[in-house]
Amino acid sequence: MSETTEQQGTEQNAGAAQAQLDGLFAFKVGMSAVFEEGVRIPVTVLKYEPMVVSQVKNAGSDGYEAIQVAFKADRASQTNAATREALKKAGFENGAKFRRELRLKKADGLTVGAKIDLNSLKKGDVVKVTGASRGRGFQGPVRRWNFNGGPASHGSGFHRKPGSVGNRTWPGRVMPGKRMAGQWGNESVTVRNLKIVDVIPEENVLLVRGSVPGARNSLVRLTKV
């Protein structure tokens, strides 16, 4: 076989390895704006890290259809031997920093090592975006639930307290779901019906209209609606 034929075969295989899905993972960069026909559109900039299929799950062996994707190569010192061995077939010699799962209706035609194409999402697609909201730590009820609080003067000792939380003799306990002080944020939030304003393949960037949950550099999942 000549070198030219060999090269053509390699290019064809590389092209065949590109797969398209109904969802992607990306990192939140920040907010910006674009102009279309003189109208300013607020957008969130998302950076896509090339994903590779690292495992294919099916209903027969796993009970459901899904694929596991890996992205961002890791250092060998931070990956155990079992994980490195499992990810070698996907092209990660020292493991990957991120492994996530995407549910599918059918995982037919997808193989370990296949690269996920950024063009799985196109300009004009409507998606839902899921991410972890910004964690604000332990907060009191005034900040967490926007309580009014008490008087700020005249010797009042009731400023930012929750007030009475109990009941009468019956039921004689605090009811579940009572709004009190506690952890605020750092929970899974989904924003639906966001539009893909633009996809920039040469920079691996997606522009989504509006804001998405999470802090900068946090990982979010985009799924077609």
Question: From first to last of its 225 residues, what are the pLDDT tens digits of the chain?
Answer: 444 434 444 343 444 457 888 899 999 999 999 999 999 999 999 999 999 999 999 888 889 999 999 999 888 767 788 888 888 888 888 889 999 999 887 767 788 999 999 999 999 999 999 999 999 999 999 999 999 989 999 998 889 999 888 889 999 999 999 999 999 999 999 999 999 999 999 999 999 999 999 999 999 999 998
Q: Are the C-beta atoms of residues 86 and 68 closer than 8 Å to each other?
A: no
Domain positions in the chain are 15-121+198-209, 137-161
- Cis, peptide link before residue 171, omega less than 30° from 0: yes
pTM (2 d.p.): 0.82
Strands 126-132 and 205-209: unpaired
Q: What share of the chain is helix, strand, coil (3-state, %, to 5)?
A: 20, 35, 45
3-state secondary structure at position 157: coil
Q: Which two tokens stand for residue 64?
A: 């459901």
Q: Are the C-beta atoms of residues 218 and 186 closer than 8 Å to each other?
A: no
What architecture does CATH give domain 15-121+198-209? 2-Layer Sandwich (3.30)
Residue 12, pLDDT score? 39
State the chain's maximal CA–CA distance in angstroms. 94
Q: Which two tokens stand for residue 100?
A: 């996530």
Residue listed under structure tokens 């059918």: 106
Alpha carbons 149 and 158: distance in angstroms, whole number = 7
Give which of 223, 219, 13 is closest to 114, Cα–Cα. 13
